[in-house]
Amino acid sequence: MQQKQEHKITPNVKVSDLTQYMICPRLVYFRAGGHKQSGIAKGKERSVIENILLKELAFDLHKIYARGEDEGGEGAETEEEDARRIMEEIEDGVERIYKEELEGLETDFFEVVKRDFICSMSVENAEWLRKVRTGNGLLELEEAHGYEREHTMVSEKLSMSGSVDKLIRTGEEIIPCVIKTGKCPEYGVWKSDRMQLAAYAMLIEEEFETTVKRGFVEYIRNAEFRESRIKKRDKALALQILKRVKRIKGGVFPEKGENAPCDKCSFVELCETRKTLLSKLFAK
């Protein structure tokens, strides 16, 4: 008699679905339905490229920080040259890493944006460099313990998976870090970012059988590295949104988000079409 093989169920909800829900629940709905965003929105090409370069830069910030310590206060010109060299190294692999995201972009335009980015980050923005060189809790941890890039975790209990940008293991604790290329709040961490950290914390706690007490959000554009305590309310919010996302992926058409960025959304036509069809249906 043959024994039945156990088949593990791959969770169909990702932490990124939760963050998309916070932007607009309908993003989750259309993506779950197999609709793909139609490339980069017109007029947003430069912004998309800069965000990709910023994210890659965040993965190498420890190099700038470490060289700043080694130089012991040498001239600003040397610091700028080192920073420029690191940024040039970063740009070499970007097209391969983000091939899908950059599909359709003209090579000449891409090269122009890269040159502008390197110039602005390494020469014109001395304050940005100073903030990185000064050091902070996160970069000190990275320098001392290193980090694992995009560590993937799966929870069958939660039916959720996710890849955290950085995972730092100090021996005493495991710390999740997320990279954000958007604007930085005046104080603390955005609500959606706290929720995202809490979701990763729950995945870490299940995989490593530990308790996650804190995480970091890197607001890389402003060189701000904010520590955030993992709070019960943020875990509760993540679980609440997880339930809603599961319903949406089960076919429930949600309301739009209160602050949904419709003007920047590539699903706007699908969204309006669906709304019209529902209006006609309920009008009968």
Residue 187 lies in a domain: yes
Domains in the chain, number: 2
Q: Are 145 and 188 contained in the same domain?
A: yes
Residue 258 lies in a domain: no
Instruction: For 146-205, write each residue's pLDDT tens digit.
Output: 999 999 999 999 999 999 999 999 989 999 999 999 999 999 999 999 999 999 999 999
End-to-end CA distance of the chain: 57
Residue 143 lies in a domain: yes
Mean pLDDT of 224-245: 97
Residue 125 lies in a domain: yes
Q: Are 205 and 110 contained in the same domain?
A: no
Contacts of 281 (CB under 8 A, 6+ apart): none
Residue 264 lies in a domain: no
Q: Are 66 and 113 contained in the same domain?
A: yes
Q: Are 70 and 163 contained in the same domain?
A: no
Q: Band the pLDDT of 67: cuts 50, 70, 90.
A: low
- Look at residues 134, 166, 196 and tell me which one is the last residue of a structural domain: 134
Q: Are 237 and 145 contained in the same domain?
A: yes
Q: Are 233 and 171 contained in the same domain?
A: yes
Q: Are 188 and 234 contained in the same domain?
A: yes
Residue 40 lies in a domain: no
Q: Which amino acid is at 71?
A: E
The pLDDT, as a whole number, for residue 43 is 67
Mean pLDDT of 45-54: 88
The pLDDT, as a whole number, for residue 75 is 47
Neighbours of 149 (CB within 10 A): 10
Residue 273 lies in a domain: no
Residue 5 lies in a domain: no
- Among 64-73, 115-124, 215-224, whose mean pLDDT is lowest? 64-73
DSSP letter (8 states) at residue 156: T
**Cβ atoms 223, 133 nearer than 8 A:** no
Q: Are 218 and 147 contained in the same domain?
A: yes
CATH number of the CATH domain containing 151: 3.90.320.10
Q: Are 157 and 18 contained in the same domain?
A: yes
- Look at residues 134, 154, 169 and tell me which one is the last residue of a structural domain: 134
Q: Are 167 and 241 contained in the same domain?
A: yes
Instruction: For 131-161, write each residue's pLDDT tens digit.
Output: 887 767 898 899 899 999 999 999 999 999 9
**Cβ atoms 66, 143 nearer than 8 A:** yes
Taking the C-alpha atoms of residue 223 and residue 239, their distance in angstroms, rounded to an integer, is 30
Average pLDDT, the chain: 83
Q: Band the pLDDT of 9: cuts 50, 70, 90.
A: very low
The runs of H, that is alpha helices, within the chain are 15-23, 25-32, 45-59, 61-71, 76-97, 107-119, 126-134, 137-145, 191-208, 232-249, 268-283
pTM: 0.85
Q: Are 172 and 203 contained in the same domain?
A: yes
Q: Band the pLDDT of 101: cuts 50, 70, 90.
A: confident
The pLDDT, as a whole number, for residue 45 is 81
Q: Band the pLDDT of 2: cuts 50, 70, 90.
A: very low
Q: Are 169 and 202 contained in the same domain?
A: yes
**Residues of the domain holding 156:** 13-34+139-247
